[in-house]
């Protein structure tokens, strides 16, 4: 019978093998817990782990595998100095058969070289998040009988539960089992029991086979009148118990929680789960956390899920890579509808034009997660167009789409386009459904622009199911204002932005769903903005999961039925005005305001309640709001202090900084106010603002012009991600502040520089 022995404890770790300077660590572990999100140049290199392992003598014929649940990003594993293999990609499960190498009842040495250096061709190579290095998910020793479900099929569990046809009357499943034998020919029985949630047997089937080496056996089975997995409303899971019996023993067994369901994405009406309309109210999640990096514990995963449930979401985009099995299990259990994806993100490799590693990671993602009923779509790329529109990248995306369909015909393919991909671009035909990462109201334009864009896209592509795969704005809880405006980084703008979009998205039935970017703040070593280094602050909740920003409650008011009231701008304590507006989010119908204990007013409304022109007391004003439901009272408190002058701590020192930056040298540019703009003749053989940055950087003279006008971009770690784009393209996509005058100034100099003739071989 299969045994899974966790071997997380008592490892040794070193950054420098030569030094022999080992530190004791336990898995999950990363060496970037501190430097991964504080604006430092974080440690990216090969590091070493070692573990002594004593294995009791195994009964004749049994097999032993070492199982890694994730090592970022390239690993080499050795067992008693024998190299077992190299694994490329930091997010998936991989295993090695060590049966023949174990010295039983003696010390065996398991050595792992883990390397988080950036290697072209191993995804991701550049992205807006920190690539924490290490063995950051569980390591197990798996002992099996000589005959067992295959453990070497791209890290899968060797059993695939397909939902061939599901409706209210019946759920037709087929259970594909891959059985591996290391014995002589043997008679075995493969049994599938389907148990309901109370453990009662609903149905079973079995097949008797002779096994020698490897076989594949498919067992069809139908559940009549199934209880369907209805997302968060009823995440009903059957237990598919699949086992191998030999003589009187069960020699291998898997319990696969399975929610039977069918779904559809309609281009006009949105998403349907089991025939019921369901707008996907989604949030995106990265897998890191303050003081942990990626080395999350089960409690961390549980807390994330609890918070996602609290806000009332019913769908999660698990960005930008494969997450822990534990979390997908939680999604099945809690009824979250999942978008799962590979890290084919930001920039395609320049050495491997076939995207092999992206394809390998897709096969791993699908095979390892095939049985998670919560997953309905596989994402093939995220903003891969940001580094330029390249024919070979399009080809890879198309091939990834075909591969995904080949691997799984029961789910749909999707992708997250960068916002600048035109509505009529062929990209929008590559996958079954489409997602756009749109940042109106942050990187570009105003929040309200979403409405027209959505309608335009739908008019251009009436048959393409459209979702918003990302949207967000920075919100830093130190900063506050009475007059929220784009790129001010305040908690108020952040909340208003999301409030506005909740309405715009809800009004459009054709939109199948949307995913807030991001549910939690996360580590992004390449960032430095809003006075915070190494972070992306777009979360509705802080990086340590301790503080819910006001925007969290804007969502909770609309999405959740759990009664609450929340006063916004509570952290904006010092007020330099005589009167203020008090905005309250609630999912109850009536909210009553009390000031210094005195009842002021009751407002009736829908989610957002604004008490206007509330006069502040000379010193402190105590605010209380109360709402009732079913005779229960819900309340919230705040206090504000009146001050003579606005407190400067509430103002972000570098508004419009960071990625949303104006990267140009303002002082220099201000010297040219009187310049007359004339038409320039920009030809293909000279440099210009239309030339991709990578090409500019290869030419010294052009680089000097670029440096002169954009000193902060050239030194920014962001450059690696953007180097496949031209300044014109970036300006169109992100509103980087390249106005007509600046463009003229740069081009006037750049067109003097001739591109080198391509060498013809
Ligand atoms: C992109 C990208 C994310 C990133 C986000 C942002 O669209 O997909 O990885 O973090 O934008 O700029 O915040």
Q: Are the C-beta atoms of 537 and 530 separated by less than 8 Å?
A: yes
> How far does CA 540 lie from the centroid of its chain?
14
Q: Are the C-beta atoms of 617 and 447 separated by less than 8 Å?
A: no
Express each pLDDT in 171-188 by its tens digit: 999 999 999 999 999 999
Does residue 25 have a pLDDT over 60?
yes
Ligand 1 within 6 A of CB of 529: no
716 confidence band (pLDDT: 50, 70, 90): confident
Cα of 439 to ligand 1 centre, how many Å? 9
| Stretch (H or E) spanning 516 | strand 511-516
Atom 12, ligand 1: residue with shortest CA distance? 128
Give the per-residue SS3 of 601-629.
EEEECCCEEEEEEEECCCCEEEEEEEEEE
Atom 2, ligand 1: residue with shortest CA distance? 128
Q: Are the C-beta atoms of 261 and 335 separated by less than 8 Å?
A: no
- Which of 205 and 741 is assigned the larger pLDDT? 205
Give the pLDDT of residue 660. 52
Helices 550-559 and 298-311 pack at an angle, to 10 degrees, of 60
CA 313 – CA 140 distance, rounded (Å): 33
Whether residue 73 is preceded by a cis peptide bond, meaning omega within 30 degrees of 0, is yes
Active site residues: 383
Q: Which two tokens stand for residue 720?
A: 């690696």
Give the pLDDT of residue 758. 59
CA 497 – CA 732 distance, rounded (Å): 21
Give the pLDDT of residue 490. 97
Segment 550-568 shows an average pLDDT of 98
Q: Going by C-beta distance under 8 Å and a sequence separation of 6 or more, which residues neighbour residue 637?
A: 567, 622, 623, 624
Q: Going by C-beta distance under 8 Å and a sequence separation of 6 or more, which residues neighbour residue 326?
A: 298, 301
Cα of 382 to ligand 1 centre, how many Å? 9
Q: Going by C-beta distance under 8 Å and a sequence separation of 6 or more, which residues neighbour residue 624?
A: 593, 594, 595, 597, 635, 636, 637
Q: What is the largest CA-CA distance in the chain?
A: 93
Segment 602-613 shows an average pLDDT of 97
Segment 272-278 shows an average pLDDT of 98
Residue to mutate (ligand 1; options 123, 126, 383, 440; most atoms within 8 A of CB): 383
CA 13 – CA 23 distance, rounded (Å): 5
Q: Are the C-beta atoms of 667 and 708 separated by less than 8 Å?
A: no
Cα of 537 to ligand 1 centre, how many Å? 11
CA 109 – CA 89 distance, rounded (Å): 24
Atom 6, ligand 1: residue with shortest CA distance? 128
Atom 3, ligand 1: residue with shortest CA distance? 128
Residue to mutate (ligand 1; options 283, 319, 470; most atoms within 8 A of CB): 470
- Which of 656 and 261 is assigned the larger pLDDT? 261
Cα of 346 to ligand 1 centre, how many Å? 9
Q: Could you tell me the CA-to-CA distances from 160 to 368, 372, 635 in Å, in that order?
A: 9, 10, 49
Q: Are strands 270-273 and 23-25 parallel, antiparallel or unpaired?
A: unpaired
**Ligand 1 atom nearest residue 470's Cα:** 7
Ligand 1 within 6 A of CB of 383: yes
Q: Going by C-beta distance under 8 Å and a sequence separation of 6 or more, which residues neighbour residue 329?
A: 257, 372
* pTM of this prediction exceeds 0.85: yes
Q: Are the C-beta atoms of 179 and 215 separated by less than 8 Å?
A: yes
Q: Which of 3, 106, 111 is nearest to 55 (CA)?
A: 106
Beta bridge partners of 162: 174
Give the pLDDT of residue 662. 61
Q: Are the C-beta atoms of 627 and 591 separated by less than 8 Å?
A: yes
Give the pLDDT of residue 331. 98
φ, ψ at 78 (rounded to 5°): -125, 140
Ligand 1 within 6 A of CB of 284: no
Q: Could you tell me the CA-to-CA distances from 749 to 671, 744, 746 in Å, in that order?
A: 16, 9, 5
Q: Are the C-beta atoms of 754 and 700 separated by less than 8 Å?
A: no
**Ligand 1 atom nearest residue 524's Cα:** 10
Cα of 128 to ligand 1 centre, how many Å? 6
Q: Are the C-beta atoms of 535 and 492 separated by less than 8 Å?
A: no
Task: Annotate 328-363 with DSSP letters as a single string.
Answer: HHHHHHHT-EEEEE---BS---SS-TT-HHHHHHHH
Give the pLDDT of residue 528. 86
Number of alpha helices (DSSP H) and beta strands (DSSP E) in the chain: 15, 41
Segment 677-689 shows an average pLDDT of 91
> How far does CA 62 lie from the centroid of its chain?
39
Give the pLDDT of residue 657. 54
Give the pLDDT of residue 659. 59
Ligand 1 within 6 A of CB of 474: no
CA 393 – CA 725 distance, rounded (Å): 14
Lowest mean pLDDT among 104-118, 202-216, 576-590, 648-662: 648-662
Express each pLDDT in 512-544 by its tens digit: 999 999 999 999 998 888 999 999 999 999 999
Residue to mutate (ligand 1; options 437, 438, 520; most atoms within 8 A of CB): 437
CA 718 – CA 713 distance, rounded (Å): 7
Segment 664-677 shows an average pLDDT of 80
Q: Which two tokens stand for residue 635?
A: 């309340």
Q: What is the DSSP letter of 38?
A: S
Ligand 1 within 6 A of CB of 444: no
Segment 123-131 shows an average pLDDT of 94
Ligand 1 within 6 A of CB of 735: no
Whether residue 428 is preceded by a cis peptide bond, meaning omega within 30 degrees of 0, is no
761 confidence band (pLDDT: 50, 70, 90): very low
- Which of 121 and 721 is assigned the larger pLDDT? 121
Give the pLDDT of residue 614. 97
Percent of the chain scored above 90 by pLDDT? 85
Whether residue 518 is preceded by a cis peptide bond, meaning omega within 30 degrees of 0, is yes
Ligand 1 within 6 A of CB of 517: yes
Ligand 1 within 6 A of CB of 470: yes
Residue to mutate (ligand 1; options 421, 523, 528, 536; most atoms within 8 A of CB): 536
Ligand 1 within 6 A of CB of 128: yes
Q: Which two tokens stand for residue 257?
A: 């929680």
Cα of 696 to ligand 1 centre, how many Å? 25
Does residue 665 have a pLDDT over 80?
no
Give the pLDDT of residue 188. 98
Atom 9, ligand 1: residue with shortest CA distance? 128
How high is the mean pLDDT of the chain? 95
Express each pLDDT in 470-500 by its tens digit: 999 999 999 999 999 999 999 999 999 999 9
Cα of 517 to ligand 1 centre, how many Å? 7
Give the pLDDT of residue 724. 79
Report helix, strand or coil for 526: strand
Atom 5, ligand 1: residue with shortest CA distance? 128
Express each pLDDT in 368-401 by its tens digit: 999 999 999 999 999 999 888 889 999 999 999 9
Give the pLDDT of residue 334. 98
CA 408 – CA 602 distance, rounded (Å): 55
Atom 10, ligand 1: residue with shortest CA distance? 128
Report helix, strand or coil for 306: helix
């Amino acid at each position: 019978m299969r045994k899974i022995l966790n071997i997380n404890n008592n490892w040794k770790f070193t950054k420098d093998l030569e030094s022999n300077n080992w530190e004791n660590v336990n898995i999950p572990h990363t060496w970037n817990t501190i430097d991964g999100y504080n604006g430092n140049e974080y440690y990216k290199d090969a590091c070493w782990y070692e573990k002594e392992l004593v294995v009791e003598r195994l009964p004749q014929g049994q097999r032993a595998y070492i199982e890694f649940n994730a090592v970022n990003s390239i690993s080499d594993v050795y067992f008693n100095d024998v190299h077992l293999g190299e694994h490329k990609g930091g997010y998936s499960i991989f295993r090695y058969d060590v049966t023949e190498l174990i010295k039983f009842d003696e010390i065996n040495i398991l050595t792992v070289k883990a390397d988080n250096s950036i290697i072209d061709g191993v995804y991701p190579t550049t992205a807006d998040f920190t690539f924490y290095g290490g063995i950051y998910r569980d390591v197990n020793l798996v002992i099996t009988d000589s005959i067992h479900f295959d453990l070497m099929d791209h890290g899968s569990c060797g059993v695939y539960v397909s939902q061939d046809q599901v409706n209210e009357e019946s759920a037709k499943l087929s259970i594909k089992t891959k059985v591996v034998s290391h014995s002589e020919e043997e008679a075995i029985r493969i049994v599938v029991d389907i148990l309901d949630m109370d453990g009662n047997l609903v149905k079973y089937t079995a097949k008797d086979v002779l096994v020698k080496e490897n076989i594949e056996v498919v067992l069809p089975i139908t559940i009549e009148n199934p209880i369907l997995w209805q997302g968060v409303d009823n995440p009903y899971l059957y237990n598919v118990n699949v086992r191998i019996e030999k003589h009187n023993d069960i020699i291998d067994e898997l319990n696969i929680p399975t929610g039977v369901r069918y779904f559809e994405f309609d281009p006009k009406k949105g998403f349907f789960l089991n025939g019921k309309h369901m707008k996907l109210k989604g949030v995106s999640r990265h897998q890191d956390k303050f003081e942990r990096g990626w080395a999350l514990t089960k409690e961390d995963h549980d807390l994330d899920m609890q918070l996602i449930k609290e806000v009332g979401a019913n769908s999660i985009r698990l960005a930008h890579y494969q997450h822990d099995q534990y979390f997908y299990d939680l999604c099945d259990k809690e009824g979250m509808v999942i978008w799962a994806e590979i890290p084919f993100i930001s920039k395609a490799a320049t050495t491997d034009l076939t995207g092999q590693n992206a394809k390998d990671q897709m096969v791993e993602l699908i095979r390892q997660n095939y049985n998670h009923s919560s997953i309905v779509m596989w994402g093939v790329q995220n903003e891969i167009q940001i580094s330029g529109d390249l024919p070979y990248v399009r080809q890879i995306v198309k091939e990834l789409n075909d591969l995904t369909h080949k691997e799984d015909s029961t789910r749909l393919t999707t992708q997250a386009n960068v916002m600048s991909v035109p509505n009529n671009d062929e990209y929008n035909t590559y996958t079954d459904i489409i997602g756009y990462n749109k940042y109106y109201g942050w990187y570009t334009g105003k929040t309200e622009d979403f409405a027209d864009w959505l309608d335009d896209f739908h008019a251009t592509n009436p048959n393409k199911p459209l979702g918003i795969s990302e949207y967000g704005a920075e919100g830093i809880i130190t900063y506050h204002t009475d007059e929220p405006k784009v790129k001010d980084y305040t908690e108020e703008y952040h909340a208003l932005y999301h409030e506005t979009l909740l309405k715009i998205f809800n009004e459009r039935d054709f939109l199948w769903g949307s995913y807030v970017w991001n549910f939690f703040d996360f580590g992004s070593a390449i960032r430095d903005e809003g006075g915070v280094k190494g972070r992306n602050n777009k979360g509705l909740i802080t990086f340590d999961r301790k503080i819910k920003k006001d925007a969290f409650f804007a969502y909770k008011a609309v999405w959740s039925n759990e009664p609450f009231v929340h006063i916004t701008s509570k952290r904006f304590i010092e007020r330099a005005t005589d009167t203020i507006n008090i905005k309250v989010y609630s999912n109850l119908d009536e909210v009553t305001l009390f000031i210094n204990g005195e009842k002021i007013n009751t407002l009736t409304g829908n989610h957002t309640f604004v008490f206007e022109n509330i006069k502040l007391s000379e010193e402190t004003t105590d605010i209380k709001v109360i709402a009732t439901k079913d005779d229960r009272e819900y309340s919230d408190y705040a206090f504000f202090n009146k001050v003579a002058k606005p407190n400067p701590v509430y103002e972000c020192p570098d508004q419009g900084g960071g990625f949303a930056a104006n990267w140009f040298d303002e002082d220099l540019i201000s010297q040219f106010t009187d310049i007359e703009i004339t038409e320039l003749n920009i030809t293909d053989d000279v440099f210009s603002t239309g030339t991709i940055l990578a090409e500019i950087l290869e030419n010294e003279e052009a680089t000097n012009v670029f440096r002169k006008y954009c000193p902060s971009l050239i030194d920014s770690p962001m450059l690696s991600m953007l180097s496949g784009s031209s300044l014109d393209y970036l300006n169109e996509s992100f509103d980087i502040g390249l106005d007509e005058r600046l463009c003229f100034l740069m081009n006037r100099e750049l067109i003097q520089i001739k591109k080198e003739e391509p060498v013809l071989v």
